[in-house]
Amino acid sequence: MTSAQVDTEKTSEEGYERGLGSRQVQMIAIGGAIGVGLFLGAGANIAKAGPSLILMYALAGAIVFFIMRALGELLLYRPVSGSFAEYSREFLGPFFGYFTGWTYWLMWVVTGMAELTAAAIYVNYWFPAVPQWVTALVFLVVLFVANLISVKLFGEIEFWFSMVKVTALIGMIVIGLGVLTFGFSSAGDTAAVSNLWAFDGFFPKGIGSSLMTLQGVMFAYLAVELVGVTAGESEDPEKTLPKAINTLPWRIALFYVGALTVILCVVKWTEFAEGVSPFVKAFAMIGIPAGAGIVNFVVLTAALSSCNSGMYSTGRMLRTLADSGEAPAVFKKLSATKTPAFGIMVSVLFMGIGVVLNYIVPEKAFGYVTSVATAAGIWTWLMILVSHVLYRRAVDAGRLPASSFPAPGGAVCSYIAIAFLLFVTGLIAYDADSRVCLYVMAGWAAALGVGWVILKGRNPQVTERREPELEKVG
């Protein structure tokens, strides 16, 4: 391998400040698993699937754990910032690294749009006279400035955002269990575990309708892979990353399955509708003074937390692409505070499209952008899984060193997760409302294909496969 290739491989880590401690990485991992998909999107999904949504979250949660264990094995084999694109590049070839890096960037840009939309909807709860697009714009600018200052500030903001979400969700579960057990509050007379099946059964709209919610459920889990993006800025990745990944099952069981189960026991599923957070609705019906307003503040922090993470991710991914010669070299530059400021700024400008959508179609903006984000996220997850399968083959053949954090069951769970993600893609194609995202992705793929041809013509060596510099960790 040439020195130029080694230099290219190293630059993605050079200059970054390892400013994320164990406490922050843990909370980023927890916060990534609690987003607007749960707090806002669950309302529409409950209306479609009833109590069976609990089962859909549990099923999808198991698949997400398979994905994260596959990613964990790769991260401890070779921890790099912007890992998804790097592993795709290593195991599938330069084009897939290029495609995955840009698609992950797209996922976070449109997720940022969704979070800004959700945040504007939440503020509308208190200030209905303020237009959605104004609120979205204000939040966009404030988070942009915070991300430019330092990775430590990003980590600290994310820590406290996540702390608010976690504390509030645990509080909601405890209060809900109290209502069920002791019957206090205005919801006490009707709260019962039997609410899970008393109104047209556990699958009130049929199993087919329940399965159709999986695309929305998968959106709720987008961002759990953010731990992988932090690898290059974690103080002790070989210890913090496995711990963050291994705590994922209990986080999903508690925050998703547990919280939804309690809420659907306290309030019958027929009370929920699209566009209203089920948590805000439940506390309004319980009748706790200011309870709904407090929960609304919590879900607002959830949306801002995810948008904050999006700005962090997009800047890092653009820098990884630039390091590989697959994006303009200007994205490689770090600011005086060791942040990829130009990449963040360009990403924020594209997130501003969400502000425009909130101006033009405020009632449809959330649905449009979440479907595109889900499609882009599924591609990213598929690339993680396929890279893991190919890595395991290389290890079994003795071509690569084994990871210190092997996925249970080897590649078997990755195959199961791949099949599941392809099934969800089929559901998206079947649903007329969400199918539009596949058209967007087809256009995106065509644009990236043209970009690749141009890149190959201008700089052929960038598009050639190269061996990574291996650095065993753990």
Asked if residues 349 and 193 have their Cβ atoms less than 8 Å apart, the reply is: no
Average pLDDT, the chain: 82
Cα(430)–Cα(318) distance, rounded to whole angstroms? Answer: 33
pTM of the model: 0.85
Q: What is the 3-state secondary structure (H, E, C) of the chain?
A: CCHHHHHHHHHCCCCCCCCECHHHHHHHHHHHCCCHHHHCHHHHHHHHHHHHHHHHHHHHHHHHHHHHHHHHHHHHHCCCCCHHHHHHHHHHCHHHHHHHHHHHHHHHHHHHHHHHHHHHHHHHHHCCCCCHHHHHHHHHHHHHHHHHHCHHHHHHHHHHHHHHHHHHHHHHHHHHHHHHHHCCCCCCCCCCHHHHCCCCCCCCCCHHHHHHCHHHHHHHHCCCCHHHHHHHHECCHHHHHHHHHHCHHHHHHHHHHHHHHHHHHHCCHHHCCCCCCHHHHHHHHHCCCCHHHHHHHHHHHHHHHHHHHHHHHHHHHHHHHHHCCCCCHHHHCCCCCCCCHHHHHHHHHHHHHHHHHHHHCCCCHHHHHHHHHHHHHHHHHHHHHHHHHHHHHHHHCCCCCCCCCCCCCCCHHHHHHHHHHHHHHHHHHHCCCCCHHHHHHHHHHHHHHHHHHHHHHHCHHHHCCCCCCCCCCC
Name the β-bridge partners of 20. 234
Reference 384, options 29, 114, 103, 37; nearest CA is 103
- Residue 53 is predicted with a pLDDT of 94
Instruction: Provide the residue-wise pLDDT of the chain in tens; the chain has 474 residues.
Output: 444 444 444 444 455 555 566 666 667 666 666 766 777 778 889 999 999 999 999 999 999 999 999 999 998 888 776 567 889 989 999 899 899 989 989 988 888 887 888 888 889 888 889 888 888 889 999 888 887 876 677 777 778 888 888 888 888 889 889 888 887 777 767 888 999 998 899 999 999 999 999 988 888 888 777 766 665 556 677 777 787 788 888 888 888 899 999 999 988 899 888 777 788 888 888 877 677 788 788 878 888 887 887 887 788 888 878 888 888 888 888 877 777 889 999 999 988 887 787 777 676 666 777 788 888 999 999 999 999 999 999 999 999 999 989 999 889 999 999 999 999 999 999 988 788 889 999 999 999 999 999 988 888 887 776 655 444 433
CB-CB neighbours of 468 under 10 Å: 18
Tokens of 36: 């607007």
Helix axes 291-323, 341-360, angle to 10 degrees: 130
Q: How many whole angstroms from its chain centre is CA 151?
A: 19
Name the β-bridge partners of 234. 20
216-254 burial by CB neighbour count: b if 16+ within 10 A, else e? bbbbbbbbbbbbbbbbbbbeebeebbbebbeebeebbeb
- Residue 380 is predicted with a pLDDT of 92
Q: Which residues contact 31 (CB under 8 A, 6 or more apart)?
A: 158, 161, 162, 165, 166, 305, 306, 309
